Amino acid sequence: MNNKEQSMQKSLELAKESLQEVSIESRLQQLGASYKVTEIGINFSAFGRMLTIDQNLNISLIPGSLKKLPDSLKVVILHCLKENFVCSRTDEFIAFREFSGGLFYEKPYKNRTIDILAQTFQNDTVALNEALKQIECSQLDQGDLSVKFILFGHLEMILTYWKGDEEFQPEATLVYSKNMKYKLSAEDVVVFSHIVIIDIISCLRQ
């Protein structure tokens, strides 16, 4: 196991430790997430994946899922469950820089999210739209193409895309429901935003 893998395992262990005395059902309710209690754990949906969390706080994909579940996303999910905060649905959205540490991480955030998306699709919003049809999201009337993702309960994200022209390159923006600010750090937002973008690009390649 290399240093990066060791660090990730340590992050997972710390996240689990913080939830040892916590009711996962209660936290899912606070997030506004639907769930089902089974013999082996609790089934729920988060970040476009159907998941199970067992009594030892191990998170796994429900059999039949074609998507990957990196350890980094497991950490983000556990962080969402960690905070004792009732997460009401909101129409207020914020930019990445408004998260704690957002200004510091803004360059790597763009490199790993909106820059990758724009470089991949360029002006081909038809291909982007076809890729998005394979992901759970709803269309909005903004830019040349815009969709809203329900990430985890009442935690939401909006992607808006503009085609380029002779003066400007293609551009994308991501904004996040304001309630997320009380659940996740800027680092967490970088992780799951990158994973969502990679999910979209993966749909293009299918």
Q: What is the pLDDT along the chain (206 residues), one digit of tens a residue?
A: 687 888 999 999 999 999 999 999 999 999 999 999 999 999 999 999 999 999 999 999 998 877 889 999 999 999 999 989 899 999 999 999 999 999 999 999 999 999 999 999 999 999 999 999 999 899 999 999 999 999 999 999 999 999 998 888 999 999 999 999 988 999 999 999 999 999 999 987 65
Q: Determine the Cα–Cα distance for residues 142 and 159; give it in Å rounded to an integer.
A: 9
Read off the pTM: 0.92
Element (H or E) spanning 97, and its range? none
Using CA atoms, how far apart are residues 129 and 131, in angstroms rounded to an integer? 5
52, 170, 189 from 109: Cα distances, Å:
29, 17, 9
